[in-house]
Amino acid sequence: MDYVKFGNTGMDVSRLCLGAMGFGDPNSGFHEWVLEEAESMKVIKKALDLGINFFDTANVYSYGASERILGKALNQYANRDEIVVATKLFTTMKKNVPNSGGLSRKEIFHQIDVSLERLGMDYVDLYIIHRWDYKTPIEETMEALHDLVRSGKVRYIGASAMFAWQFSKAQAVADKHGWTKFVSMQNHLNLLYREEEREMLPLCEDQKIAVTPYSPLASGRLTRDWSAQTKRFELDKMAMSKYDTTADQDHIIVARVAEIAERRGVERVQVALAWLLQKEAVVAPIIGATKESHLTNAIPALDLVLTEAEVEFLEEPYVPHKVVGHQ
């Protein structure tokens, strides 16, 4: 496993991050295809055995079950000082209940406490705002996050899925007041969705912000034949909303990933990840593994270097997409 500094910080992270959205409770009303505790813990243990030290979850994943499972596994199998744990907040956790969701000071202080309780930890290394809150002043959010860092419950803060102007505004507000600034951006980026290349990636490169792309394999679409069916493919409505409208053009890119993989004698997942890892700002793509083989197949991507011609071949069919995931 390779380790790198996390953007402009002194923290070391593995070049692949294990995402925990696929671990939880299929009966929670979040996703039906997630793994339950026993199978989830096997995948987490395998990640640790492979040298992965970076783990990402969120309060909303299976409405807390993901955090509980991830925390149980990490507390059982790892030393806390050797791993990096990230969780997120924003999404409403209780329907039709006031003060549930968003990024108010009240909600931020409440959600960190319940997340830490579920994780069984005293602190998280990275606390991420899952989306931009249009109903709360950014000054209130940034000051509350700063206070969490000062309290010791959070080591660093990050952001996810927003427009570049919003990210810049938040950083400027923090800088103006001497508050803690974001060190990372978790955004939607893969060969099928490249809108982040326009503004967010150049911004992050310039500011040395660690980019940790989510959905690096387009919910598995980049790893298999276009006609292949899986349980997640059939049930994941979130992924359908991201990719179904561009299927006609996306399948051409998927076919080109397969062509390069066959030519190089590697797995398709390795081609898709190598394309991401060669981007300067990308520190660690978030792999939503639900099988041990998903991890073992991904690791060789760290040593795969695509040629300029291969990159151009993969990128050439792409056309602009509707921006998704920012609101």
Q: Length of the chain, please?
A: 327
Angle subtended by helix axes 247-264 and 268-277, to nearest 10: 100
Establish whether 61 is a catalytic residue: yes
Phi, psi of 249 (to 5 degrees): -90, -30
The 10 Å CB-count burial string (b at 16+, else e) for 109-127 is eebbeebbebbebebbbbb
Helix (H, G, I), strand (E, B) or coil at 182: strand
Burial of 178 (0-12, 13-18, 19+ CB in 10 A): exposed
Q: Which of 61, 156, 243, 318 is catalytic?
A: 61
H/E run at residue 292: helix 292-298
Q: Tokens for 43?
A: 């995948």
Looking at the DSSP bridge assignments, the partners of residue 192 are none
Strands (E), 90-181: 124-129, 154-160
In a 13 Å sphere around the CA of 141, the CA atoms on its Cβ side amount to: 28
Residues 276 and 125: their CA atoms lie apart, in Å, by 24
Q: Which distant-in-sequence residues (6+ apart) come within 8 Å of 116 by Cβ?
A: 122, 123, 124, 153
H/E run at residue 54: strand 54-56
Which residue reads 């994780």 in tokens? 119
How distant, in Å, are the alpha carbons of 32, 120, 284 from that of 293? 21, 28, 19
Active site residues: 61
